[in-house]
Chain A
Amino acid sequence: MRYAVGGRAIFDGLDLTARRGRITAIMGPSGTGKTTLLRLITGQIHAERGGIRVFGEDIAKMSTKELFAVRRRMGMLFQNGALLTDMDVYENVAFPLRAHTKLPESLVRHLVLTKLHAVGLRGAARLMPSELSGGMARRVALARAIVMDPDILIYDEPFVGLDPISMGVICRLIKQMNEALGITSIVVSHDVHELSTIAHESFLLSQGKVVASGTPEELHRSEVADVRQFMGGLADGPVPFHFPAPDYAKQLLEDAT
């Protein structure tokens, strides 16, 4: 698959498969286009060449109606939660149910409380999003993402900006959702340690391609320079520490004159 913006290729020759019922981690340094890949997978933008198949269908060729039908089978957890700020926690989780179903209020209540209980926030049902911490907001967003019982759950940087406790909670929830509900999970992140504990398979992106794939253990053992730099958190390597710049000494002398 190829995707370019203004002639600059973000992905060129990218090829990966997320298997049904498994947790697939997509890793890579900042700026490699991980979030762009999620936007491609969810049909918000389309590939220039090649295609993305979701449930066996090319997402770029779907009509809006078909795309929305596919999205009803997908849940997405945004980096910031993206909770609707004019509704409380309960209404946020109930939102997809009210939009897509005509379930009686008693059943909506039952489902919402069940999902909130699953993420440990049943007691926060009447709080507004502005009253939640970052970790709580992400857990509510997770409850909202699973309220329609999706087949696929997509997590965009679920660990960013969280304290170790919240990070552990989110990690456990991703694993639970996968194991208990059999949801296919795609997790985009650069947190190597957390992903290693939950992912069945990992893909490492760099320069618009998959440079390595396999289980977290295989990636840790890899001798590929890109993988070693990323997994080891090395400052310099194939991804240079310095942004391209003219010669240092020459520039200093030029500035002095």
Chain B
Amino acid sequence: MSAGAESMPLATLRRIGSVTVFLGRILAQVIPALAKPKLIVAQIYNAGARSLVIIMMSGLFVGMVLGLQGFDLLQRFGSEDALGVAAALGLLKELGPVVTALLFAGRAGTSLTSEIGLMKATDQLTAMQMMAVDPVRYVVAPRFIGGFVAMPLLNAIFCGIGLFGAQLIGVSLMGVDSGAFWSQTQNAVELNDVAEGIIKSVAFGTACSLVAVYEGYHAAPTAAGVGLATTRTVVTCSVLILLIDYMLTAAFLTTS
């Protein structure tokens, strides 16, 4: 085995260890950070409210595509009335959390990484340390909490708009009965399905926010370093989202 091949798992382990230690530092600062609610609210606004347009647009189009594809598939079996169920379950359990998280990584995650990375490159984090202020408490923890809170909220909005998009195509365009669409959805969707989506989005929110703040905080303090960290955020978050999604889906199917 070559030295390079040996160092790869070691480097990965070191990285996982480093991220875990960093998560510990953040968690230790969560309570003190909550004492400054203004900082948290500002970060929920940054990560959440500023992502609303892209989330709503994407939710609408994903829902409309679900409406078209779902109708095409279901009418082959004469079950087009079940379009609402198919769209709702697809959105709540899979598409909502996953697509929201991928969009969040691309919009808010990159923004978090580059913002913290630039603060580091311009000595702002060092200046805080020189003022005897821990940047993890004032910069990192509020952003982490902001992402953690924003993700489930964005997911709920994505699913709501997505279902509206599916209804728009199925009922208004394809002629599915409106009563059947909504009543079947109401009967088929259970609390467990909603919980699955919420748990997934909380897990994705934690993972994406952690990766984004970690990469920013550990970015090389140069223009190239910040660029590289931003790219790593998108790549790592995307892979993590799909990996966590598989693991959680398997866990839910096994326990149900």
Q: Could you list which residues of chain A lie within 8 angstroms of chain B, going by C-beta atoms?
A: 42, 44, 68-69, 71-72, 74, 76, 78-80, 82-85, 95-96, 99-100, 141, 144, 148
Contact between B130 and A85 (Cβ–Cβ < 8 Å)? no
| A to B CB contacts below 8 Å, 22 in the list | A42-B130, A44-B126, A68-B132, A72-B131, A74-B130, A76-B127, A76-B130, A78-B126, A78-B127, A79-B123, A80-B122, A82-B122, A82-B127, A83-B127, A84-B124, A84-B128, A85-B122, A85-B124, A95-B131, A99-B133, A99-B138, A148-B131
By beta carbon, the residue of chain A nearest B46 is: A86
Number of interface residues of B (CB under 8 A): 14
Would you give the shortest CB distance from A78 to chain B, in whole angstroms?
5
By beta carbon, the residue of chain A nearest B42 is: A86
Please name all residues of chain B whose beta carbon is closer than 8 Å to the beta carbon of A96 when the two chains form the complex: 131-133
**CA separation between A144 and B126, bound complex, in Å?**
14
By beta carbon, the residue of chain A nearest B125 is: A82
Contact between A82 and B133 (Cβ–Cβ < 8 Å)? no
**CA separation between A141 and B131, bound complex, in Å?**
12
Q: List the 8 closest A-B pairs by CB distance, nearest first.
A: A82-B127, A82-B123, A68-B132, A71-B132, A76-B130, A72-B132, A99-B133, A96-B131
**CA separation between A84 and B127, bound complex, in Å?**
9
Contact between A99 and B131 (Cβ–Cβ < 8 Å)? yes
Please name all residues of chain B whose beta carbon is closer than 8 Å to the beta carbon of A68 when the two chains form the complex: 132
Would you give the shortest CB distance from B49 to chain A, in whole angstroms?
16
By beta carbon, the residue of chain B nearest A96 is: B131
By beta carbon, the residue of chain B nearest A71 is: B132
Which of B118, B119, B132, B138 has its CB near the most chain A CB atoms (within 10 A)? B132
By beta carbon, the residue of chain B nearest A38 is: B130
| Beyond A42-B130, A79-B123, A99-B131, 13 additional pairs, beta carbon < 8 A | A44-B129, A69-B132, A76-B130, A78-B123, A80-B123, A84-B119, A85-B122, A85-B124, A95-B133, A96-B132, A100-B132, A100-B133, A141-B127
